[in-house]
Amino acid sequence: MDTVRQDVRYALRMLWKHRFATFVCAGALALGIGANTAIFSMAEAFLLHPVPLEDVNRIVAMVDSQPQRVENSPVAPATYLEWQSQANSFEQVGAYAWDGVNFTGDTTPQKIQDFLVTTNFFSVLGVQPQLGRDFLAEEGQPGRNQELILSHGLWERRYASDPKILGKTVKVNGKPFTIVGVMAKGFDYPMSAEAWLPMAFDAKARVDREHRQLWVLGRLKPKVSIVQAKAEMLTLARRQADAFPDFYKSFQLRVLPLGEYTAGDLNRQYTLLLLGAVAFVLLIACADVANVQFARVSGRQKELAVRTAMGASRSRIVRQLLIESVMLSLFGAVIGLFVAQWALTLILSHMPPDIARYVAGWKTIHLDLGAFLFTFVIALASGIISGIAPSLMSSRANISETLKESGRGASSGRARHRLRGALVIAEVALSLILLVGAGLLVKGFHALLSVNQRYHPETLLTLNLDLPDVQYPQKSARAAFHDQLLASLATIPRVQSAAMATAVPYSNGGGISGDGFSIENRPLEKREEARSAIMETISPNYFALMNIGLRDGRVFADSDADNTQPVAVISGSLARRYFPDENPLGKKVRVGDDDSNPWLTVVGVVDDVHYNWLQKNDVPTLYRPYRQNPPRYTTVVLRTDGDPLAFVSAVRSKFAAIDSELPIYEVKSLDVVINESIVGIAYVAAMMAAIGVIALVLASVGVYGVMSYSVSERTHEMGIRMAMGATAAAIHRLIIGNGMLLTAIGIAIGLPLAFGLARALSSLLFGVSAADPFAFIGLPLILASVAALASYLPARRAVRVDPLTALRYE
């Protein structure tokens, strides 16, 4: 212990003595460690603690997945009910479904994010209300499901934490519901839940295998592992698929731990991508530090030889150098923690609250004990990684040669040069991979921004509304409401036009799914080849308002009404995919395959719309006029001549004049809707860009460090060369050539690896090509240019060497 203390004291002295190098190295490590700690804190929140529940490892989610679809799929009621009655691995199996309701009748009408849950939902999760009670089993019967449980947040906001809230009646979509419980603070599962309503299955639902809306959770019995449960569930699912192939054939059951399910595959993928990227940055920083350590220990060969002569064993020398290296990285880690805190503050403060509440684990992101431990461990690892090679190599030097008056201990010099060169090559290769990854993500993000520019989203106001069944049970009532509303909104001064659609691009976080449809006289041979399209119901002026171009036929007219021929307009991609060699105009299509749905005559083809950032290719879309299919859920869009938010109060007045009980929500400009929808990928792109720039800087520091040290070591050689008549240009060529050779090898190694990454990203992102010229020509050129500059500076120093001085240099 005493000797370790001595080594630590000496290490501190050495670090202080070479404080410039110490601060440069600590800075490099701080960037690497800080980035790792920040991303680790996010990963910890997203992947390790996405659900604020104890005992979370005993809860599993059972979802369906389809090949080539990123999102999981919910299951239909009949599927769930069979699992619930037949599965033996679980104490309880429950389910929830997304919902959204209007709260009225007590205070201001408000749109609430609720979930329909089976009555055992909270038991499955192992939680109970803080106030009041859980749902009773009989409240899962149709007609008895008139209770609700509030989230703590909603109780605070809407009811001012009223302790007498229990038993109070609130109108939910116009129907009376009784508040029976309030959940504890912090519990909002499924994320963002503000209220929970009991789910009831009527006779029709109990045999429904088609309408997939239930997300199923199960609590494992004691001593049953997730592997066993998975095996049982797969057997059950196979049995269902055999019995009802039409409904299950294209689906594959996934049984996931609740944490993994909640984190989501995409979030997981991008978090792992960022973790990998920052790990690369740390490796680059370690290589930089290792190079500096090589230079430093080279200058200390004599000291190390003396220590060895005095009886220091090789391990003792290695230990001493490693302690120095670890002290350096710990110093870097301390600064890194500040970098991480700053980065997290930046990341957290720029996330819109409306989005953050849908990101599992977001609110738990902070620097915690785990992050501190992680930082400590990676600092230790960085210290060892960056110090081990210089230490081992230095401890091998020839002592007696080094101890001579002019001895320089150069016996391991060649090996050291090779290793330092290899480190620079690795740095360049890693940097190129990161740069290409960052470049592609940024490019993809820009493609997303530009694809939406045609809408001029900055002058569009969007808002959502749900027409409750109670007040608007008839189609005619809903159509009349929309007629009146759109006419009224269009009269607002400086509103150029008002339209409506079921969903505008990027609304609902981009989560717009398709539905099946049929084509007249073309029955499907196999169900798995089902035709699918996004179903939009719009007002006739929607295309014009959104600048969606007409390709063929006509758009809707005001005359397309309930009593005229049912019509549809289709997107170009639908026409290409389902009517490849024919004119789709005049063809008849039908939503779903239910005979009760009318055949719609295709009257027009319009340009495709990009609905979400995950969408790699155009998605077929089928439009219907709202007068023929008046929707319950609507997005109203207003084209204004300025800042759309300036029109909100006028819009609210118009709504209040038509239906004062109807809440409107998600009142935003389309610009904001789009930005919020792509904020996740924007974050990833911005972080990757920052990581790429850091990597570029660190790699150039590495090239500079190696070339600079090489020039110092070769001062004598430079003197000889110049004495022999070498020109400044020749010396420049020599030094820059060496630097560029290392860079070229690094780029040659990095390019194929970067191409692999590009292929993976191009399959994930819109607007990203695996063979992107900017990524594979532009970025390597940028890297090479920076490396050339980093080599030029030492080269300039080399040509200033006075041959006479250099020849005396030893």
Partner 1 sequence: MTESNGILIKMEGVKKVFYTDEVETHALSEIHLEILKGQYISIAGPSGCGKSTLLSILGLLDSPTDGNYWLNGQPVSKLTISERTRIRNREIGFIFQAFNLIGDLTVYENVELPLTYRGTGAAERKQKVQHALERVGMAHRLRHYPSQLSGGQQQRVAVARALVGDPLILMADEPTGNLDSKNGEAVMELLRDLHRNGATICMVTHDERYAHFAERNIHLFDGRIVDETREVGASA
Interface ranges with partner 1 (CB under 8 A): 2-3, 6, 10, 13-14, 17, 302-303, 305-314, 316, 399-400, 403-405
- For the bound state, the minimum distance from the C-beta of residue 376 to partner 1, rounded and expressed in Å, comes to 28
CB closer to partner 1 out of 407 and 509: 407
3-state secondary structure of 619: coil
- For the bound state, the minimum distance from the C-beta of residue 383 to partner 1, rounded and expressed in Å, comes to 20
3-state secondary structure of 409: coil
CB closer to partner 1 out of 297 and 399: 399
Rg of the chain taking only CA atoms, in angstroms: 33
Strands 633-640 and 460-466: antiparallel
Cβ-contact 466, 111 below 8 angstroms: yes
CA 394 from centre of chain: 45
CB closer to partner 1 out of 185 and 404: 404
Q: Give the burial class of 594: count Cβ atoms within 10 A of its Cβ; 0-12 exposed, 13-18 middle, 19 or more buried.
A: exposed
CB closer to partner 1 out of 410 and 650: 410
CB closer to partner 1 out of 5 and 204: 5
- For the bound state, the minimum distance from the C-beta of residue 13 to partner 1, rounded and expressed in Å, comes to 6
Cβ-contact 53, 127 below 8 angstroms: yes
Across 609-618, b (16+ Cβ under 10 Å) vs e yields: bbbbbbbeeb
CB closer to partner 1 out of 404 and 446: 404
- For the bound state, the minimum distance from the C-beta of residue 366 to partner 1, rounded and expressed in Å, comes to 41
List, in order, residues 6 or more apart from 2 with CB less than 8 Å away.
none
- For the bound state, the minimum distance from the C-beta of residue 309 to partner 1, rounded and expressed in Å, comes to 5
- For the bound state, the minimum distance from the C-beta of residue 322 to partner 1, rounded and expressed in Å, comes to 17
CA distance 160 to 153: 10
- For the bound state, the minimum distance from the C-beta of residue 2 to partner 1, rounded and expressed in Å, comes to 6
Name which of 322, 315, 234, 260 is nearest 8 in CA terms.
322
- For the bound state, the minimum distance from the C-beta of residue 315 to partner 1, rounded and expressed in Å, comes to 8
Cβ-contact 295, 705 below 8 angstroms: yes
- CA distances to 78, 231, 239, 242, 388 from 236, rounded to whole Å, are 13, 9, 5, 10, 55
CB closer to partner 1 out of 211 and 404: 404
List, in order, residues 6 or more apart from 605 with CB less than 8 Å away.
550, 551, 552, 553, 569, 570, 571, 572, 575, 584, 585
Residues pairing with 104 in the sheet? 171
CB closer to partner 1 out of 10 and 358: 10
CA distance 417 to 294: 9
CA distance 576 to 621: 12
Cβ-contact 121, 198 below 8 angstroms: no
CA distance 600 to 415: 77
- For the bound state, the minimum distance from the C-beta of residue 256 to partner 1, rounded and expressed in Å, comes to 54
Give me 71's structure tokens: 């999102």
CA distance 650 to 652: 5
- For the bound state, the minimum distance from the C-beta of residue 403 to partner 1, rounded and expressed in Å, comes to 6
CA distance 548 to 610: 11
CB closer to partner 1 out of 14 and 662: 14
CA 31 from centre of chain: 22
- For the bound state, the minimum distance from the C-beta of residue 297 to partner 1, rounded and expressed in Å, comes to 13
The residue type of 22 is T
CB closer to partner 1 out of 236 and 399: 399
CB closer to partner 1 out of 409 and 510: 409
CA distance 673 to 501: 15
CB closer to partner 1 out of 306 and 348: 306
3-state secondary structure of 550: strand
CA distance 439 to 773: 11
CA distance 746 to 284: 12
Query: Backbone phi, then psi, for 88, in 5-degree steps?
Result: -105, -5
The residue type of 780 is P
**Furthest-apart CA atoms within the chain: distance in Å:** 107
CB closer to partner 1 out of 17 and 223: 17
CA distance 258 to 72: 13
Task: List the alpha helices (DSSP H) in 93-225.
Answer: 121-125, 152-159, 203-206
- For the bound state, the minimum distance from the C-beta of residue 405 to partner 1, rounded and expressed in Å, comes to 5
- For the bound state, the minimum distance from the C-beta of residue 415 to partner 1, rounded and expressed in Å, comes to 15
Tally Cβ neighbours within 10 Å of residue 43: 22
Per DSSP, 362 falls in state: G
- For the bound state, the minimum distance from the C-beta of residue 303 to partner 1, rounded and expressed in Å, comes to 5
- For the bound state, the minimum distance from the C-beta of residue 755 to partner 1, rounded and expressed in Å, comes to 42
- For the bound state, the minimum distance from the C-beta of residue 326 to partner 1, rounded and expressed in Å, comes to 18
CB closer to partner 1 out of 2 and 581: 2
CB closer to partner 1 out of 400 and 476: 400
CB closer to partner 1 out of 301 and 628: 301
CB closer to partner 1 out of 231 and 309: 309
- For the bound state, the minimum distance from the C-beta of residue 310 to partner 1, rounded and expressed in Å, comes to 5
CA distance 587 to 341: 60
CB closer to partner 1 out of 2 and 525: 2
Q: Please give, one letter per residue, the 3-state secondary structure of 19-80.
A: HHHHHHHHHHHHHHHHHHHHHHHHHHHHHHCCCCCCCHHHEEEEEEECCCCCCCECECHHHH
Terminal alpha carbon distance of the chain:
39
- For the bound state, the minimum distance from the C-beta of residue 185 to partner 1, rounded and expressed in Å, comes to 56
3-state secondary structure of 622: strand
